Amino acid sequence: MSADTTSTAPLAAARAPALLRRHWLWLAAIVLALAIPWLFFDWSKGRHSGFALTMLSEIGLMSVFALSFNMLMGQTGLLSFGHAILFGLGGYCTAHTLNAAKAGLFWLPVELIPLAGGLGGLVFGAVFGYVVTKQRATAFAMITMGLGELVAACALMFMGFFGGEGGISTDRVTGQSLFGIEYSTPWQVYCLVVAWTVIATMLMRLQTQTPLGRMANAQRDNFERTQFVGYDPRMIRFYQFTLSGFFAGIGGALYVLVYEIVTFDTVAAAKSATALLAAYIGGAGSFLGPFLGTIVVVLLQSGVSLISNAWLLYVGVLFIVMVMFAPGGIMGIVARHEPIARMGRLGELAVPYARILPPGLLLVLGFVTLVELAQLATIGSAQNKSLAIGGQPIDPHNGLPWAIGAAMLVAGGLWMRREARVFRARWDALMEEAKARGLPV
Amino acid sequence: MSGGAITLRGVEKSFGATKIIRGVDLAIARGERHAMIGPNGAGKTTLFNLISGRFPISSGTIEINGQSIHGLPAHQINRLGLSRSFQITSIFPRLSVFENIRCGLLWARGYRYSFWHLLGGARALNEEADQVLERLGLQDRRNVPAGLLSYAEQRALEIGITVAGGADIILLDEPTSGMSHSETEHAVRLIRSVSEGKTLLMVEHDMNVVFGLADVITVLVYGEIIASGPPAEIRANRAVQEAYLGSEAA
């Protein structure tokens, strides 16, 4: 293997396709990330959609945050309820650094500004990590929750650093750039966010393959055993926590670059909860799970929230459904198909899947109808919102739409139960067969 | 006493008011295969936990390779060259079999808490882990999550994790418990080969294993040593027969 590192030209050319085959997912993700904004490009005005770019930037920075959260939860078995303090403090450090650079105290190109956030997250991660990593399991979760509240309270008390309720405003157009880019348009900032999201994600991915990353997994599986192979489980937790602080800080820095302001809600419990939701919905057991989860959560947060007041309710219901029926998240669902795919019989699930789709849709439709009627009848009416389907206005004080919604919900539920049984039978049969063939199930 | 691998002097351990270990003196020489037997509740596993630093001792001293372990946490005792297995299988269930063994090797090969080495490129380390797998007879199960192994395979893996780092003192807590006859035979061959040239201390209930493997046998009853010596001597010891072997032989 080592011989081909003396890469002659033909050898390098021969290796390129191999590299492509190994890393196609990364390349596809980058291409996709840079292509999607053009779908929303306003050709008549010749400019990008600010809304789409902000939403995509949010996906990027929040996925860095969620992945850093999962360095603790999925990889080390540490559930933190206060991870946002590292995200937010990284953000505050970034805002101050950006302001200092703008004021001419030193020269720091905008491209490297995320490192300031990362460094802030690293330092605070080490300080807080020293305290919290003495514990694990429930005690760890409780202490992180307390720390989260503590920092959120501090954010309103120490005006100098946190700027009180108003937060710290900043200006990313400092005129300092490695490539002569101004970062005055959302598109330029978005490209920077994509670049740093890719860098941070790759680094976190590589970290899982280091001795520390593997021992973090070992600590999660069986912390006591790590002591008897020479490791201090507390130090494993400490280093892992500190490193996850670095990446959370980068997420916070990207937040500041996108919004040019950082307020105390970046350190608040709700922010921590978002990372938890993303990791769970996407699947904490796999590296990319939190990334997928972030996409779902941000789409609900930014997209559905435009249409409905009840978006948070949908996030909550989705979370409950996932925890109950798919504790491995989206990636867990995918992984469970692996033995069937290896037998080459994934096609046999197409019909069962197609059959649960209509009752599933009916169920969701019924549920959404009821929720939307409820929110129209309550907060919606105060906001003068109204609902119309096909030009026909729907009155939430009329009994009929409620009856239709309830009927869809009940019918969908009953139909689903029947189809689910058929699906289950097919699934179990395939699994039995996989087991009989000695595939790990 | 000098040159001993493990030396215990007046070791006592109490849980609350109950004295579990009641003044144990024991010297295990380097390179010795030493078995500890005794009825259930005699304190064998507790003694293991004291020697490996899982619990602190109440009084007395324990020396590993001539160094007192007083106040040392378990991971530092491990770094002195003592490695142990557990009676109740203690592996890393979600990691692959290969990863389990490699985790047993990392500290011993100086990787510490490194987050700048990529393990995929650590060829010597990976080859060494594969060699351990081969000795265990688990190379076919290399990439299976350890939690999915059969019981006997998990017991073998447990021994593998324990010996992978090359510790010169090995403590095995009931390595063959719950195994079938043929599995036990396989385990004994494995233990014999991995403890070659090392100090072995093991707790075992299967008398065939004990008398087949051990150079020296110590009998622990109610937290006290009632006899210690070569197998033939122990077999002939009246007190041992009464306390323990008699009931087994009958």
Residues of chain A contacting residue B132, judged by C-beta atoms under 8 Å apart: none
Predicted confidence band at A303 (pLDDT cuts at 50, 70, 90)?
A: confident
Decide: B152 and B177 in contact? Cβ < 8 Å.
Answer: no
Tell how far CA B169 is from the center of its chain.
8
Domain residue ranges in chain B:
4-94+168-249
Task: Tell whether A5 is covered by a domain.
Answer: no
Would residue A139 count as lying in a domain? yes
- Are A301 and A349 part of one and the same domain? no
Any domain includes A13: no
- Chain A residue numbers touching B164 (CB-CB < 8 A): 229
**What's the mean pLDDT in B58-75?**
95
Assess whether A249 and A349 both reside in one domain.
no
Q: What is the mean pLDDT of residues B187-207?
A: 93
Cα–Cα distance for residue pair B117/B97, rounded to 1 Å: 21
Please state the pTM of the whole predicted model: 0.92
* A chain contacts of residue B111, beta-carbon cutoff 8 Å: 211
Alpha carbon distance A297, A290 (integer Å) = 10
Query: Is residue A6 very low, low, confident or very high in pLDDT (cuts 50, 70, 90)?
Result: very low
- CB < 8 Å to A217, chain B: 92, 94-95, 99
pLDDT (0 to 100) of residue A67: 98
Chain B residue nearest residue A237, CA to CA:
B113
Q: What angle do CA B112, B116, B118 make, to 5 degrees?
A: 95
Tell me: do A281 and A416 sit in the same domain.
no
Q: Which of B107, B117, B120 sits opposite A229 (nearest CB)?
A: B107
pLDDT at A12: 60
Classified as helix, coil or strand, A105 is coil
Whether pLDDT at A259 is above 70: yes
Residues A291 and A377 in one domain: no
**Best CA proximity match to A368, nearest among A311, A294, A297:** A311
Residues A278 and A367 in one domain: no
Q: Which residue, among B109, B115, B169, would best test binding to A if mutated, counting the most A CBs under 10 Å from its CB?
A: B115
DSSP A417: H
Cα(B101)–Cα(B130) distance, integer angstroms: 8
Candidate CATH numbers 2.40.10.10, 3.40.50.300, 3.40.1280.10, 3.30.56.10; the one for domain B4-94+168-249: 3.40.50.300
Query: Do A317 and A423 have their domain in common?
Result: no
Q: Do A222 and B92 touch (CB under 8 A)?
A: yes
We report the CATH number of the domain holding residue A180 as 1.10.3470
Residue A5 pLDDT class (50, 70, 90 cuts): very low
Residues A214 and A348 in one domain: no
Is A229 in CB contact (< 8 Å) with chain B? yes
Q: What is the pLDDT of residues A107-153, one digit of tens each?
A: 999 999 999 999 999 999 999 999 999 999 999 999 999 999 999 99
Indicate whether A307 and A343 sit together in one domain.
no
Residue B225 phi, psi dihedral angles, 5° rounding: -85, 125
Regarding an ipTM greater than 0.85, the answer is: yes
Look up tokens 């997209």; give the residue: A303
What pLDDT is attached to residue A3?
44
Is 50 exceeded by the pLDDT of residue B250?
Answer: no
Burial degree of B110 (CB within 10 A; 0-12, 13-18, 19+): exposed
Q: Is B197 left (phi over 0), alpha (psi -120 to 50) or beta?
A: left
To the nearest whole Å, the CA of A119 is away from the closest chain B CA by 16
- Identify which of B67, B73, B60 has the alpha carbon closest to the alpha carbon of residue B26: B60
Q: Say if residue A225 is in the same domain as residue A174.
A: yes
Q: What is the CA radius of gyration of chain A?
A: 25
Is there a domain that residue A1 lies in? Answer: no
Cα B186–Cα B192–Cα B193 angle in degrees, nearest 5:
90
Domain membership flag for residue A7: no
Q: What is the pLDDT of residue B1?
A: 42
Instruction: Indicate if A302 and A352 belong to the same structural domain.
Output: no
Q: Which residues contact A35 (CB under 8 A, 6 or more apart)?
A: none
What tokens does B71 get?
């106040």
Structural domain tally of chain A?
A: 2
Q: Is residue A328 one of the residues assigned to a domain? A: no
In terms of residue numbers, what domain contains A407?
337-436
- The answer to whether the beta carbons of residues A230 and B165 sit under 8 Å apart is yes
Q: How confident is the model at residue B245 (pLDDT cuts 50, 70, 90)?
A: low
Q: Is position A368 within any domain?
A: yes
Give me the mean pLDDT over the A234-244 stretch: 98
Mean pLDDT of B83-92: 95
Domain boundary among A322, A354, A380: A322
Query: Phi and psi for A379 in degrees, rounded to 5?
Result: -70, -30
pLDDT in tens, B115-171: 999 999 999 999 999 999 999 999 999 999 999 999 999 999 999 999 999 999 999
Mutation pick from A225, A236, A238 vs chain B, by most beta carbons of B within 10 Å, is A225
Residue among B79, B113, B165 minimizing CB distance to A211: B113
Q: What was the pLDDT predicted at A9?
A: 55
Regarding whether A212 and A165 lie in a shared domain, the answer is yes
- Which residue type is seen at B41? G
With respect to residue A3, please indicate whether it lies within any of the assigned structural domains. Answer: no
State the smallest CA–CA distance between residue B205 and chain A in angstroms: 23
Rg (CA), chain B: 18
Q: Same domain, yes or no, for A199 and A299?
A: yes
